[in-house]
Structure 1
Amino acid sequence: MAFIQNPVLKGFNPDPSIIRVEDDYYIATSTFEWFPGIQIHHSRDLVNWKLITHPLSRQSQLDMVGNPDSGGAWAPCLSYDNGTFYLIYTDVKSHAGGFKDTHNYLTTATSIMGPWSEPIYLNSSGFDPSLFHDDDGRKWLVNMVWDHRKGKNSFGGILLQEYSAEEQRLVGPIQNIFKGTEIGLTEAPHLYKRDQYYYLMTAEGGTRLKHAVTMARSTSIWGPYEVDPNNPMLTSYQKPELALQKAGHASIVQTQEGEWYLAHLCGRPLEPSGNCNLGRETAIQKCEWTEDGWLKIVGDDAQVKVEAPDLPVHSFETEPIKDDFNDDVLNIHLNSLRAPVEENWASLSVRAGHLRLIGRESLNSIHKQSLIARRQQAFQVNVETVVEFSPENFQQMAGLVYYYNTKNYYYLHISHDEELGKSLGIMSNTKGLYDEPLDGRIAIEDWDRCYLKAILNYSDLQFYYSKDGKEWIAIGPVLDASTISDENAEININGFFLDQGFTGAYIGLCVQDLSGQRKHADFDFFIYEELGE
């Protein structure tokens, strides 16, 4: 018997939307401020998954310059009907405080690999939009509605409106079809139809430890919707023994053989902090329908090991750990912040076999950062690079960054010191508080190339440097990797969120030139090696 080993999508891969098209399974997940937007993984057996594409690859589809941390592309819904893939997503322009500016769009393609169309604007009433294709040919959009008014439930319910494919816009009345349960924070709606019922699946409890999956049903798409008497159908709340916490925000799929599976968000907390530096991940659970027509998790709880469907094994080649930058385009796992990679600041062609980054704004910028990084997808990781950089002043920096957002990062960097010349230092930012954990800087004035390394071991981060890439010297103290997490990014004062985080740890390469002289650095390779789970 084959088994699904959870999480199936490790590291920052939240809000899964799963579908099957003939023998192929796809999961779309949120990417927030990282570009290109929305990750799509592919599988044929629900066990083995491969990242294959990012449909929002043009700035005309997703313009996030100036978006806040953890803004951008939220909660995609991937669907398929009559030869066309549909992708619904939100571009969040603000989300902290009382208001949320959430613009919802639709893009389509006849192939999962694209090209994907220019976006069709839908509405801005709330986030987590989802498109349902009814068996009579009509299409319906559901999304949660955000209520900013004092004394009201901010998560104001689930709105339903028809979408006209012919007119490419929403049409007809808008109705609030479900106000949620006592769990509260009702969001992430998906509609399904089985037998005589419309089933409305939502997430409740908030996307932290109280997260849950709620199911309701009605014989009319307009409701009223009755809630599953055993609600919630899935949660990890008050079950600290479970390895997969935060279980919620789910979608379902039926296999070719009639089996049912549920993809859901989860998190794996570090001890003792409880922080999840790998972010919110995706797991899959097996389901079954009860005699009275409710969906139930086989085994009841979010499990790490799940019985796989009766499908042929379909494995993928192991990803290489070293990227020598010999290709014409960046590796699919490498992302930029808020805007696409362009030749005028990130080039693979100017110097063959190297990634050249031209210094722009600081790590605090929400506009023009020269940063290329990838998700951390295991608790134990080795990352290495080598850089050629000739800074002329202290405002020019290049190196290896462990990054959550503009207010939380650790940065091993080369810069220029008036006394030491070219030198190494470490800077950190925790909840927006700048620090330099290394006492003084280390001179490397006569070095043409400097090798940099980071070893992550659960909550520990240790930086290293080397002149030859063979003999490594530890630099600075062991740093707290658990701060690079949603939990640490959150600032909550008396229930009022001044800041929130929804992403996960990234590690990669960056260059800054705060003088505006656009000093460049050349990186010869990037190694990302998972050492353990």
Structure 2
Amino acid sequence: MPLAKNPILPGFNPDPSIVRVGSDYYIATSTFEWYPGVQIHHSKDLANWTLVKRPLDRTALLDLRGVSDSAGVWAPCLTHDGARFWLVYTITKAQNGAFVDCHNYITNAASIEGPWTDPVYANSSGFDPSVFHDEDGRKWFVNMLWDHRSRPNLFAGISLQEFDPSLGRLVGPRKNIYQGTKLGCIEGPHLYRRNGWYYILVAEGGTGWHHACTMARSRNLWGPYETHPQQHILTAKDTTFTALQKVGHGDIVDTPDGKTYLVHLTGRPVGHDRRCVLGRETAIQEAYWKDDWLYVKDGPLPSLHVKLPGIQNQVRYWAEKHYTFDGELDPDFQWLRTPLPERIFQAGKAGKLTLVGRESIGSRFEQALVARRQSHLSYDAETSIDFQPEDERQYAGLTAYYGGANFFYLTVTANAEGQRELLLMTREKPTVRNWLDEPMVDPVPIPSSGKVRLALEVRGGTSLQFFYALCDGTIEELVKIGPVYDASVLSDEAVNDRGASAFTGAFVGVACSDLNGLAREAAFDYFVYRPIKDSSDRYDI
């Protein structure tokens, strides 16, 4: 079989859950505060993946207004019981504290495209749930237990309880069946049955540098579970030399010819500060069974290269994406939190993407921000904007965005006298009170009307430069505006360095705010995302 290169889902695609139905493979990944919820990719060969559905796409299934950054949809589990797909997911309201308020739901559908049923509430006792379909047809709900009393050991073990789909609720006894190893932070459980054994695969060590996949087995569903002889069947916690770091949170799948593969979360650090600017990604490893235990080939370290049935399409990966807005929004794009996108944007209005100015770019409720994932270490982005602000409380433009406390934003706005200008608003060096960076770059006066081209370039995941041009012909070529910024602050690690927790990834897109409450609109003609293949990309997929 040909060699493929990890990750197979580059950019922010964490916490993979994989299932095969016939000759079709599907991977579901977390989306956190981004809407619609849960990314589902499809493949025929495990090497080439296409986004086919974000199923949590209506208010009944998901409403994220008010959730904090890096809360929202955590760790979905996608399974199939022979007749229907089942999706289990967590909605976390907040994090970075003793109480995470993680509510677990179950929905199902006859096909990936849906319709997906209104969700059934399961519990709020922990996150990262899954559903296991046993051979006798019974369904079991599996999730980690969160103990708010036990800092720093808040992860109390793995809970098992039966789920009755006819009643739409959990029934019968609940038991803590596995507490993991000394590594701690047990989460992300999946149950399997094979050769008379029940296997549990969990994540341990937290989702950072000490992450790991740990396996245990039992002859009885309720345990006791014996930990794998290796304990951690996949981890990079003991080395900094492997290209793939943070490996953990895995799930396994069998191919039609009997091979077994493990998909898992990973990160690729760059720069002096070892920041994973592409977020937590999805990789895959070849595995095998020996003495009724699963082993990762050449493990427990992860491999950058792996044998897969298919050959990765490099042309597609490096292709420039030129987005136009003649109809529906391209599926590459998402927005933040709200299940009411018609209030924040319209795609196809006069062939443009029209954003409706709402709350600030740092809002947790209703902000007009539409963006796509950064999936390359080096890239260019460009758009053209038509926006007529009346003062400094109306602003719209191009943003490289991680969260409300980590972003770079080149805006078309106006001063208090109504003079239109370009203004950079950045959070490169976030403060405790979340002020914008000061001193701010001096604004650039621009004509009172006319379109403006806005662009940026990111190189190596560590440097970011903005550009602009005027479409009236006075400044035709793109010129630099502002300094070179540290693009690596758009990362989990940059937030973690401030003592908080973060789990998403960098996006690039457009935004619009109107704090005067007038819903002033900004129109964007196009959006270009251009991957750059250069020497700074040590991974070079």
TM range (shorter): over 0.9
1:500 paired residue number = 501
The alignment partner of 2:488 has SS state of: helix
**Cα offset, 1:373, TM superposition:** 0.5
1:367 aligned residue (356, 361, 365): 365
1:400 aligned residue (398, 401, 406): 398
1:521 paired residue number = 522
1:134 paired residue number = 134
1:479 aligned residue (482, 485, 493): 485
Distance, in Å, in 2 between the alignment partners of 1:461 and 1:233 is 38
The alignment partner of 1:487 has SS state of: helix
The alignment partner of 2:240 has SS state of: coil
For each residue in 1:79-107, what CA deviation from the matched residue of structure 2 results, as whole angstroms up to 9, or x when unmatched?
A: 00121000000000122211110000011
The alignment partner of 2:180 has SS state of: coil
**Cα offset, 1:308, TM superposition:** 1.1
Distance, in Å, in 2 between the alignment partners of 1:23 and 1:64 is 34
Distance, in Å, in 2 between the alignment partners of 1:224 and 1:316 is 49
1:436–1:325 CA distance, 2 compared to 1 (3 A): farther
Distance, in Å, in 2 between the alignment partners of 1:321 and 1:447 is 28
1:312–1:344 CA distance, 2 compared to 1 (3 A): closer
Distance, in Å, in 2 between the alignment partners of 1:11 and 1:151 is 32
- The Cα RMSD (Å) is 1.8
2:468 aligned residue (460, 465, 470): 465
1:496 paired residue number = none
The alignment partner of 1:488 has SS state of: helix
Write the mapping of 1:98-497 to structure 2, written as runs, cut at 5 A: 98-150=98-150, 153-290=153-290, 292-300=291-299, 301-309=301-309, 321-327=321-327, 329-340=328-339, 342-349=341-348, 351-418=349-416, 421-429=419-427, 430-431=429-430, 432-436=434-438, 438-458=440-460, 459-468=462-471, 471-490=477-496
1:490–1:218 CA distance, 2 compared to 1 (3 A): same
Verify the 8 A CA contact 1:43 1:314 in the aligned structure 2. no
Figure out how many residues of one structure are paired with residues of the other and give that number.
524
Distance, in Å, in 1 between the alignment partners of 2:121 and 2:366 is 26
Distance, in Å, in 1 between the alignment partners of 2:275 and 2:311 is 37
Distance, in Å, in 2 between the alignment partners of 1:344 and 1:90 is 26
Letter in 2 for 1:226: E
**Cα offset, 1:439, TM superposition:** 2.9
1:465–1:420 CA distance, 2 compared to 1 (3 A): farther
Distance, in Å, in 2 between the alignment partners of 1:391 and 1:165 is 53
Structure 2 unaligned regions, length at least 5:
534-539
Verify the 8 A CA contact 1:20 1:254 in the aligned structure 2. yes
TM-score (normalised: structure 1): 0.95
For each residue in 1:197-238, what CA deviation from the matched residue of structure 2 results, as whole angstroms up to 9, or x when unmatched?
A: 100000000000000000000000100000011111100112
**Cα offset, 1:312, TM superposition:** 9.1
Distance, in Å, in 1 between the alignment partners of 2:313 and 2:321 is 22
Verify the 8 A CA contact 1:214 1:234 in the aligned structure 2. yes
**Cα offset, 1:491, TM superposition:** 5.9
Distance, in Å, in 2 between the alignment partners of 1:196 and 1:49 is 33
TM-score (normalised: structure 2): 0.94
Letter in 2 for 1:271: G
Give the % identical residues: 46
Letter in 1 for 2:478: W
1:470–1:28 CA distance, 2 compared to 1 (3 A): farther
1:530 aligns with 2:531: yes
Verify the 8 A CA contact 1:5 1:304 in the aligned structure 2. yes
For each residue in 1:47-80, what CA deviation from the matched residue of structure 2 results, as whole angstroms up to 9, or x when unmatched?
A: 1111111010112101110011111110000000
Distance, in Å, in 1 between the alignment partners of 2:469 and 2:498 is 41
Distance, in Å, in 1 between the alignment partners of 2:511 and 2:99 is 33
For each residue in 1:391-415, what CA deviation from the matched residue of structure 2 results, as whole angstroms up to 9, or x when unmatched?
A: 1011000000111111111111011
